[in-house]
Structure 1
Amino acid sequence: MVELQDAIPIARRTFLAGAAAIGAYPAIAAAPGVQPLEDALRDDLGRLSALYATPGIAVALLQRGQPTRFLSTGSKPGVSERTVFQVGSISKLAAAIITLRLVDAGRIGFHEPVARYLRRWQLPPSAFRAESVTIARLLSHSAGISVRGYFPGSLYPGPVPSLVDSMEGRAAPAERVFINAAPGSTYAYSGGGYSILQVALEDLTGLPFNDLAHRELFAPLGMEASSFGYDGVVRPGGTRPHDLAGRAMPVRVFPNMAAAGLSSTAADLAILLDAVFGDTKDRPALLSPASRALLATATAPLSPPAAQPGFSQMMLAPETVRDPAAFRYGPGAAIAQRADGRLIVGHGGSKAGWKATAQYAPEGSGIVVLTNGEAGNGVILSAVSRWRDWLDTAAGAPPVGKALDHAPMAAAAAFARNGAAAAADVIRNAANAPGAWFVSDRSAAEAYGQISSFAALQGWSASDVKAAATALTHAGATSFPQSAFAQAAYALALAQSGSAEARQQLALAESLDADSDSRQLLAQTRQALGDAK
């Protein structure tokens, strides 16, 4: 059984109390109260699909005691709750559930060193104690393991490296897995940690990960369309990924299945959320009560304070953005704690051309959003924000905002379709209507980051990317004239493009109060200009 009390010293007791009460919250108002949310989402899906160049969207709305409701848009093929999408890091939630099933069965120790279960691969020698890399720490991204994520993956059909080749860095040096920080000392998101977990589970059970998932998860829950196999998304009924312009892309896969290999549907993920976080009093439980509670308990150390809150925290708990303790990881799930103590538990997913999320509130409501567009996080932000606002209304909590469009994602999609000027217009228009947009002095830089990271897959030239940097950061600088970050970002773009205006812009940026991110941009600008300062 899970040693739940062992998690208490590194978990906020408010999180633990909330997690232990999953299934005990009063139910939100029944179906008539959900209808406005369903109607609003249905009416908006077409607009969101166009704004974010995302051809396919599938949504599931869960409500305790009510049939799950499904919404979708898209054709070629027709998108529905049964359409298969790749769901990226939602794989980690599934992998954690599989692991906790084995913990409940006594097959693996939650706090045991993972090295006890490894056969094909071993942790490389390091200055840190391998014995401190435990199953629990791998699940909560606190084991000090390298490799944040995997991108873009191998074209499929086609050759795919083995999992061990990936972990050894033979497929790509950046994918080499090793201990790079003291285990247990800090939180650092790590797909590499879940690759270690995959090797351990396969070596322990003697089963390929997809077969293990079918035995422990898909078959017991009737998740008939879900798979960790490479063929999962290319079989009939699957969708294709799409780039920032909304054009179909080739399918890519990873051998790192526990980290990012799941293909699933809105219907199957709704089943998963309900089985793990919903009311189980009238049906067999997938997990023990201790494991269910632990899955929704924040056990990872606090993240270092960030100048800008993360996307998920802004979406799920915007009133807590100045509190890094309000968004933390447990063993397999991210836990957002609202200002009034309510929780939202789940995971997002991102792969090239796919974006997804699956979230659940212990009051008895959940949402799944699957998209097949690279800018699909814009769809997710708007849909989940509407759901979050509906939760607040149903709970009698004061509203914290409304559904917003995501300026960086919309700008990136606009650039892909219509060029740099169109992208800059999105930033300017959003800054002039902040009540309708998720926009800040960093939005232009975020849009440029999205464009830059996707440039190779999109086929953009270096001059295309530089044009985007200059146009976007100029829009950011003019929209946020008192922001040192916005002015420094524009100065750096000018310096990197060789503009004679760079020094004047640098002087303007240096005259403003700068945070750590802004100071870093200023230093990069001086370096680009050849200054020693």
Structure 2
Amino acid sequence: MKALILTLGLLAGSLTLTDEDQTAKRRGVEQGLRQKVLITGHPAEKMDLVKRMEYYKVPGVSIAVINEGKIEWTQGYGRFGVEPDSPLVTTQTLFQAGSISKPLTAFGALLLVEQGKLSLDDDVNRYLKKWQVPENEFTSTEKVTLRRLLSHTAGTNVSGFPGYSIKDQLPTTLEVLEGKKPLVNTEPVTVIAKPGSALRYSGGGTTIVQLLIEEITGEKFELWMQTHVLRPLGMVESTFKQPLPLADARYAAYGHHLGGVKVEGNWHLYPEMGAAGLWTTSRDLARFVTYIQTVLNGRPGPLLSESTITTMLQRQRAGGQETDAGLGFFLQNYGKDLIFAHGGQDAGFIARLYAYAYQGKGVVILMNNDAGWPLMEEITNSIADSYQWPNNEPIEKKTTPLDFLRLNELTGKYTSKEGTIEIKTLGTELYIDMNNGVAPLRLRHFGNCVFFIQEDDVNVDFHGCEGQPQILTITDPKGNKTVYNKICIRRGGFGSFSPRLLPLYQNCLKIWV
């Protein structure tokens, strides 16, 4: 059956549609892609999905749209790889979901809580035998608990995992936690901040949860999750197994980087299964979403109770303040507009799960190019428009002209604790390169020293752009600011530095060559 569907290509997704209205909605999504920020006075440009895939060099995309608490339609687009003879993506094509593994892992851990085998608020070292969370000055008064691990407030390190080549020997869960060198390519998992003091994203913390599940159940994580979480949720096309079994590997898309460069060996392996190891389809993840929505709307399911699901979607506290993290999900809005969401990125793959808890709306998008985040936004915007999602209207901003010679004064590299970015000109336009594997994004001049991008509601403010700016601030949609200092290169060493140039360089990071 799978082989037959594979040959049907793009037609396969349409088999889930039930009437002409749904077909029209799907086509409206495919032809209605738009950027988040529109330019005042210019008509909104609606773009075609397949053409945008070609523009971003994203070989394959899988989409599942949820409406009125049901999966309204699913669709595959493109191919496994950039090669014209590579298999077509269908609704049964597997993608790596990256960190969307974490909500499923949280779901499994909460099953054990409901069964009385695990507590949300006990020190996890009570349950761990093969390995213990190392005690240090941060754990002297506050402990690492399951609640804190699932909400990224446990103070643990190792934010993410690069994965392993298909040629590498894979470490065990225990070896990953120990950071056993040279086998393991990440640091030992430990506590680097007082538990409960702040939100600190940690895949290392989720790997502790992986070990907890193995120790409490006495089974391998991937097998227990298959039996007790994935299959009961109807996610029969999904697996945490690493490496991917041969029977499933022929249905797996190939990972790609910026420019359509294929990942060596087609994909990486992730023994940190609970944090990053899920192989899945958009339809399967949509089944997970609709289970949560169904239970929250008063229809009990066979797995987690309404009480536990509600707890999953409650904002957790850290440092005396409310965070945007629930147990396994990140949260937006409040009340009837509450959204639960998670993104994912493995080498060559990105994913998005985004859903309204009480309105039965949502989407799952999977793609096999980890530089495809702008395309992810454009697809999400189109679905929001077609299905009239609340609080997802486009943003309008004005642009003002700026002399090209002044643009050159802004270029250069800027650095902060978040990393190094580069401002560059391409032709007569200014671009920002975040050095995150995504192509440089065009900066539009808003006024004075402020620029914006159209892909997201982000502003870039050059301080003192009337002269030689040495500081810029990036402000995200939540108002969070990151300050970057320009890297200023002075040639000739300290002896050639003139005191009269000091004001020009006093705010920048000086590098002498």
Same fold, TM-score > 0.5, yes or no:
yes
Q: Any conservation in 1 of the 2:349–2:367 contact (CA below 8 Å)? A: yes
Q: State which of 209, 230, 245 in structure 1 corresponds to 2:242.
A: 230
Q: Aligned letter for 1:297?
A: Q
Cα distance in 1 between the residues matched to 2:239 and 2:262: 22
Structure (1 or 2) with the larger CA radius of gyration:
2
Asked if 2 retains the 8 angstrom alpha-carbon contact of 1:45 and 1:57, the reply is no
CA gap of 1:398–1:99, structure 2 versus 1, over 3 A, is: closer
The alignment partner of 1:68 has SS state of strand
RMSD: 4.0
Instruction: Output one character per residue of 1:32-89: Cα deviation in whole Å (capped at 9) or x when no partner.
Output: 9877753333123213312322111111100125543113311222112211000100
Aligned to 2:58: 54
1:243 corresponds to: 257
The Cα offsets for residues 301-338 of structure 1, whole Å up to 9 and x where unpaired, read as: 2799xxxxxxxxxxxxxxxxxxxx6x711110000116
Q: Distance in 2 between matches of 1:40 and 1:303?
A: 45
Contact 2:294/2:300 (<8 A) preserved: no
Matched, 1:111 2:121: yes
1:128 maps to 138
1:296 CA displacement: 0.9
Contact 1:42 1:71 in 2 (8 A): no
What percent identity do the matched residue pairs reach?
26
Q: 195-204 vs 281-290, which deviates more?
A: 281-290
The answer to whether structure 1 residue 361 and structure 2 residue 348 are counterparts is no
| 1:81-96 matched pairs, under 5 angstroms | 81-96=91-106
- The corresponding residue for 1:142 is 153
CA displacement at 1:127 relative to structure 2: 1.1
> Which residue of the partner structure matches residue 512 of structure 2?
529
Q: Is 1:38 matched up with 2:9?
A: no
2:256 aligned partner, one-letter code: H
Amino acid at match of 2:93: T
Superposed displacement of residue 142, structure 1: 0.7
Q: Which residue of 2 aligns with 1:203?
A: 215
The aligned amino acid for 1:378 is: P
Q: In structure 2, the residue corresponding to 1:195 is in which secondary structure?
A: helix
Q: CA 1:360/1:51 → structure 2, altered by over 3 Å: closer, same or farther?
A: same
Distance 1:372 1:497 in 2: 46
TM (normalized to structure 1)?
A: 0.68
Aligned-pair distance for 1:106?
A: 1.5
Tell me the residue number matched to 2:415. none
Q: Tell me the CA shift for residue 231 of structure 1.
A: 3.3
CA contact (8 A) 2:98 2:275 kept: yes
Pairwise CA distance, 1:126: 0.8
Quote the Cα distance in structure 2 between the aligned partners of 1:374 and 1:497: 41
Which blocks of at least 5 consecutive residues in structure 2 are unaligned? 1-17, 32-47, 80-85, 398-423, 433-440, 447-451, 475-482
- Secondary structure, in 3 states, of the residue corresponding to 2:212? helix
Give, as a single letter, the amino acid of the residue that structure 1 aligns with 2:251. Answer: G
From 369, 378, 381, the equivalent of 1:385 is 381
Answering whether residue 159 of structure 2 is matched by residue 176 of structure 1, we say no
Distance 1:437 1:165, change over 3 A: closer
SS of the residue corresponding to residue 128 of structure 1 reads helix
2:339 maps to: 344
Q: Which has the higher helix share?
A: 1
| Structure with the largest fraction of strand | 2
Contact 2:29 2:386 in 1 (8 A): no
Helix, strand or coil: the match of 2:232?
A: helix
- Structure 1 pair 135/509, CA: closer, same or farther in 2 (3 Å)? same
Structure 1 position 296 matched with structure 2 position 313: yes
Instruction: Quote the offset at 1:190 in angstroms.
Output: 0.6
Q: Distance in 1 between the 2:274 and 2:254 partners?
A: 21
Task: Quote how far apart the aligned CAs of 1:359 are.
Answer: 1.2
Deviation at 1:490, TM superposition (A): 8.7
- Worse-matched range after superposition: 158-167 or 182-191: 158-167
- Looking at structure 1, the residues matched to 234 and 362 of structure 2 have their Cα atoms a distance apart, in angstroms, of 19
Q: 1:394 to 1:95 in 2, by over 3 A?
A: closer
Structure 1 residues 50, 426: closer, same or farther in 2, change over 3 A?
farther
What CA distance in whole angstroms lies between the structure 1 residues aligned with 2:317 and 2:243? 34
- Residue 87 of structure 2: aligned partner: 77
- Structure 2 CA distance, aligned partners of 1:423 and 1:372? 32
User: Matches of residues 97-108 of structure 1 in structure 2 within 5 Å?
Assistant: 97-108=107-118
What is the SS of the residue equivalent to 1:335? strand
Unpaired stretches in structure 1, ≥5 consecutive residues: 1-29, 305-324, 404-418, 444-472, 511-518
Distance (Å, rounded) in 1 between the aligned partners of 2:279 and 2:430: 36
Distance 2:468 2:277 in 1: 43
Cα deviations by residue, 1:191-212 (Å, 9 ceiling, x for unpaired): 1111111111101101111111
Counterpart for residue 471 of structure 2: 484
CA offset digits 1:154-179 (Å, max 9, x no partner):
11153112222221122447421111
1:9-28 to 2 correspondences below 5 Å:
none
Residue equivalent to 1:376: 372
Would you say 1:187 and 2:199 are equivalent positions?
A: yes
The question of whether the paired residues in 1 share the 8 Å contact of 2:71 and 2:290 is answered with: no
Q: Does the 8 Å contact 1:111/1:134 carry over to 2?
A: yes
8 Å CA contact 1:356, 1:377 repeated in 2: no
- 8 Å contact kept, 2:63–2:74: yes
Find the counterpart in structure 2 of residue 257 from structure 1. Answer: 273
2:151 maps to amino acid: S
Q: How many residues align?
A: 416
Conserved 8 A contact 1:117-1:201: no
Q: 1:257 to 1:301 in 2, by over 3 A?
A: same
How far residue 186 of structure 1 moved from its aligned partner, in angstroms, is 1.1
TM-score, scaled relative to structure 2: 0.71
Q: Would the alpha carbon gap of residues 272 and 67 (structure 1) be closer, same or farther in structure 2, given more than 3 Å must change? A: closer
Residue in structure 2 matched with residue 431 of structure 1 by the alignment: 444
Deviates more, 1:360-369 or 1:174-183: 174-183
Distance 1:253 1:89 in 2: 14
**Match of residue 325 from structure 2:** 329
Letter in structure 2 aligned against 1:431: R
Work out the CA distance in 2 between the residues paired with 1:423 and 1:387. 33
Q: Deviations over 1:338-376 (max 9, x none)?
A: 6x8721102110111111011110211010010110212
Measured in 2, the distance between the counterparts of 1:497 and 1:84 equals 55
Q: Partner residue of 1:215? A: 227
Counterpart-to-counterpart distance in 2, 1:479 and 1:381: 33
Deviation at 1:493, TM superposition (A): 6.5
- Aligned residue in 1 for 2:395: 401
8 A Cα contact 2:121 2:146, kept in partner? yes
Are the aligned partners of 1:119 and 1:200 in contact in 2 as well (CA < 8 Å)?
Answer: no
The structure 2 residue matched to 1:286, chosen from 278, 293, 303, is 303
Compare 68-77 and 266-275 and name the one that shifted more: 68-77
Q: Tell me how far 1:505 sits from its aligned partner.
A: 10
Contact 2:128 2:212 in 1 (8 A): yes
